[in-house]
Copies of this chain bind each other. A is one copy, B any other.
């Protein structure tokens, strides 16, 4: 099988676009030098790129259908964090061999996600290499349906900090060699991002871990005065977010404080973490109910004064994160920057 046969067999669906917005006389999909589309109502276009490398971003044991779903879903999670709707994507395949059964399963997982989220394969590139690991490169394109994109940089002093869903399953599963639903099939929070677009002040998807990703919001929102603020996270609220499997798997081995610290550094969640003014609480709870997605208020952005320095100077370029017990069961604890770093 050569490159062209591989594309024809597994990736060229040759039908009408999945996304009805692309179904007009301008659409050019796979098979040319580039793809072409036109949006008649001219909304802002959103673009995001990710590389996934075997052994770094996914295990060599991952099932091909799960991987096909994953390479698209993690990019759509970035679109979700911006409040964007998926439109299409390009796929780069860097493979060390062309295996028919593997490609068949991979493309099934890929097009499953493509259909589920209305995101058309627009084109791409396939490369055979001699390395032991495979890599994938996806660029996803979306659009903003009215208004502006939801950014990382709008967090304000006194804002609430929220997180969707639960936390801790992926890192627990990796540590204990259990099965994690989120690792098998990460779910981009597209509908949630759309709803939050006009409510939240900043938003990010949790890929590296809450303690790391939340600091991205802080650095983007306070580029010149990061030292003037800190975020305090509520221990008891985070305990409510702990994944049930995580609690079960670690029963008798880790206490809640240890579980919360583990969950804070666990990546691959693909939940949304966002900030919003306290006036938006009822609206956010209504969104949670409407979409049937748990949204938990887990902290707030506070003014940092000299007395509060609490020996945290070493982290001054990262943003200050503290864990606070609302019931005063322990003194405030500094949360180190310990999210997984891919680089």
Contacts and interface: CB of A to CB of B under 8 A. Distances in A.
B49 A139 contact: yes
Contact of A82 (B36, B126, B127, B153): B36
Contact of A53 (B35, B98, B127, B148): B127
B53 A94 contact: yes
A143 to B, nearest CB: 9
A81 interface: yes
* Most chain B CB neighbours (cut-off 10 Å) among A32, A40, A132: A32
A152 B44 contact: no
A250 to B, nearest CB: 30
A6 interface: yes
A39 B42 contact: yes
A257 B287 CA distance: 72
Interface string A88-109: 1011101000100000000000
A51 interface: yes
B90 A34 contact: no
B124 A343 contact: no
A123 B48 contact: yes
Interface in A129-174: 129, 131-133, 135, 137, 139-142, 144, 148-149, 151-153
Interface of A: 2-3, 6, 26, 28, 31-40, 42-51, 53, 56, 78-79, 81-82, 84, 88, 90-92, 94, 98, 122-129, 131-133, 135, 137, 139-142, 144, 148-149, 151-153, 203-205, 220, 341-343
30 contacts: A26-B44, A26-B148, A28-B151, A32-B82, A32-B220, A33-B48, A33-B78, A33-B81, A33-B82, A33-B203, A34-B47, A36-B46, A36-B82, A36-B84, A36-B149, A37-B47, A38-B44, A39-B45, A42-B42, A47-B122, A49-B123, A49-B124, A51-B92, A51-B137, A53-B127, A53-B129, A98-B343, A126-B342, A127-B342, A137-B137
